[in-house]
Amino acid sequence: MGTNDQSEQTPEELQRAALLEEIAKPQYYNNRELSWLAFNERVLEEAEDEENPLLERLKFLAIFSSNLDEFFMVRVAGLQDQVRADFHKPENKSGLTPKEQLAKIAERTQALVRRQTEVYRYLIDECLPKENVFIKDFKDLQVEQKRYITELFEETIFPVLTPVAVDAYRPFPTLLGKTLNLLVMLEKNNNDAEHTTKVAIVQVPSVLDRFIKVPTKDNRTMFVLLEDVITSHIDHLFYGYKVKSSQAFRLTRNADLTIHEEGAQDLLSEIEKELKKRKWGVGSRLEVRDGEMKDDVLDYLLDEFEISESDVFKIDGPLDLTFMFPFVKTISVGLEHLQYESFIPQPPQDLDSDENIFEKALVQDLFFHHPYESFVPIVDFIMEAANDPSVLAIKQTLYRVSGNSPIIQALKQAAENGKQVTVLVELKARFDEENNVHWAKLLEQAGCLVIYGMNNLKTHSKITLVVRRRHGKIERFVHLGTGNYNDATAKIYTDMAIITSNKEFGIDATNFFNYLSGYTEKPEFHHLVVAPFDIRDEFIQLIDEEIECHKRHGNGFIRAKMNSLTDKDLMMKLYEASIAGVKIELIIRGICCIRPGVQGISENITVTSIVGRFLEHSRIFWFHHNGENKVFLSSADMMTRNMIKRVEILFPVYSPEIKNRIIKIMQLQFEDNQKARIQDSNGKYHYKEDHNGNKKINSQEIFLQEAIGQPTEE
């Protein structure tokens, strides 16, 4: 008889098996993709929020569009691939098949895009004119203004345009994804000829500004959109033909890379080849101007792109609102009052301006809370190491870095100064692949030893090791963080980091880099917990310990903050803890597949999402443990990909002072009632009931005020 026979199981084992079967049911989980759309809806709410400055609301519209582009390029495109491959298996959380997910995504996204267009119309037509800023249609300009724009078209725009005829000799062109194009329908301008409709494509040049300033005789600032100008002068491109219609459209393509690592002899060159293919992926979404495109013309495009009508988005306004990013930058001069008040990240509390970071780290662990505290000391940490004659080696992981990265410059300087510099550049960081290939080559040319990670895993961990020999002894300094070594995003992402000279952390860091670069089994670490797999196991053990603590003391609670929560094993374990009475409070900015407040399952779980001025990015895990307060920081979210498909680091915080600061930060964020939304038992998000109460708590704003030393209201 098999060992799994129920007759051989104890009552406790049978009870647990029944519990696991119950909490695995689909009704207790949110669908991953729909949860992401709920996050992007919260971004859109920031564009709708009249408490936000006007220009910031326009930027939130652009963020919403940029997010949606990536969603269709990767997540939706992946589901479409599954449908084309006749794959109908339900996903393991919400139980929806790929086809069911696509149908729900289309319905939800159509509604969100309509809302976005309404917000755009309101902000452009109602709000901006109050500031004497206008975006006008070409047809509504005055005669002199039209003459100016026409001359500009002939001198500057016309030479850049390339009309492409579509006929038997010139097939429909392969268009770059996310480019704005015009589909032009033509007739021969000759009464004796057959009135056969001709088709041409005109790409709206991305090398030109999307918006064109129009001269005015008063203090108004006025613009027209580039595609409107081209459409209004489209007949200049087709002499001898009558233009029947000119209609804007935009195609989003599948942009996920298919990298066969097992057979790759050179991963860098393999990725370079795949990057060239990305531009021509299968279509995943078609955006057109609502009311402009006739059904037969739309059918023509659907046939060319081989996509279905459900993938079409008819938009009553301009396509691709990401142009709001440069537009806001252009009009912001003189309108500073319509933006967030400028903020300069402050020196960290743990480091005075005249203190040496290495000497201070020998005395105590240093804590950094970005962007409220400056990222500059982290750059200085690398640069000082590069120029210190006592430093022997620098080792660092890089996932996403800025376009003109001072970190890269410091590493190059270190190599040129004769240091042993080892850099892991993750070439598979999505949409940063090309950037990282570029940096990898530059670092190699400077003399750095560059490695590209591990087979079939992304290295997402954030760690730097500096090895120094002083007075005949080796000293190791380790920087560990929740965010990337990116000085640009460090100004807008909230992240945490520590620098420590703890010897065992230094040994762990050395072993970690050897694990990445050489042939060795995963080592036993003193303090670091490393994915794949070990972080999930550690979380499960910590949750089990909290359950046991609660049984003994009745005070169990877990507080955690992360970007996303999708791992079913961990969610089931959190459900177990909730059923056992452990209070679980989660701050999850983005995707959250766990469903709180379900009676008998998750009534002890709350889920908060904070979307505001800064992108909440830090990962914090706090287990009460009967007052011991075990606190960890990590590069990893509780997502399956982070647990089993990435090299990640979870690290404990031992310093009582740092631990107390992190706890205080988390407590304030749970009190936020301005930028926080609460998820209900149906998976819907709502502002807190006291959103408009007397005491307004905006945690990000309070952290800003505290950083610059301003008192905050008690």
Tokens of 46: 């920031």
**In terms of Cα–Cα distance, which of 91, 532, 127, 492 is closest to 331?**
127
- Cα torsion angle, 374, 378, 380, 381, sign: positive
Q: How many CB atoms lie within 10 A of CB 222?
A: 17
Residue 626 φ/ψ region, left for φ over 0, alpha for ψ in the -120 to 50 degree band, beta for the rest: left
SS3 at position 117: helix
**Which residue of the set 233, 369, 370, 460 is catalytic?**
460
SS3 at position 366: strand
Helix (H) or strand (E) holding 48: helix 32-48
CA–CA dist 519, 579 (Å, integer): 44
**In terms of Cα–Cα distance, which of 491, 591, 673 is closest to 41?**
591
Cα-only R_g, the chain = 28
User: How many angstroms separate the Cα of 505 from the Cα of each of 257, 406, 453, 476, 707?
Assistant: 36, 26, 21, 8, 29
Helix (H) or strand (E) holding 296: helix 295-305
DSSP letters, 408-467, are HHHHHHHHHTT-EEEEEE-TTSTT-HHHHHHHHHHHHHTT-EEE---TT-EE---EEEEE
CB 649 within 8 A of CB 583: no
CB 286 within 8 A of CB 311: yes
How do beta strands 312-315 and 283-289 pair? parallel
Q: Which residue type is seen at 384?
A: E
CA–CA dist 458, 277 (Å, integer): 21
**In terms of Cα–Cα distance, which of 571, 624, 570, 575 is closest to 603?**
575
- Cα torsion angle, 451, 457, 463, 469, sign: negative
Residue 495 φ/ψ region, left for φ over 0, alpha for ψ in the -120 to 50 degree band, beta for the rest: beta
Tokens of 83: 């449908």
Contacts (Cβ under 8 Å, ≥6 apart) of 694: none
CB 222 within 8 A of CB 274: no
User: How many angstroms separate the Cα of 657 from the Cα of each of 372, 618, 650, 653?
Assistant: 18, 18, 19, 10
> Residue 236 catalytic?
no
Strand partners, 165: 200
CB 308 within 8 A of CB 286: no
CA–CA dist 596, 607 (Å, integer): 7
SS3 at position 515: helix
CA–CA dist 344, 326 (Å, integer): 22
Residue 62: DSSP 8-state:
H
Nearest-5° Cα angle at 281, 275 to 284: 135
Tokens of 327: 């537009």
CA–CA dist 225, 120 (Å, integer): 14
Residue 594: DSSP 8-state:
B
Could you list the active site residues? 460
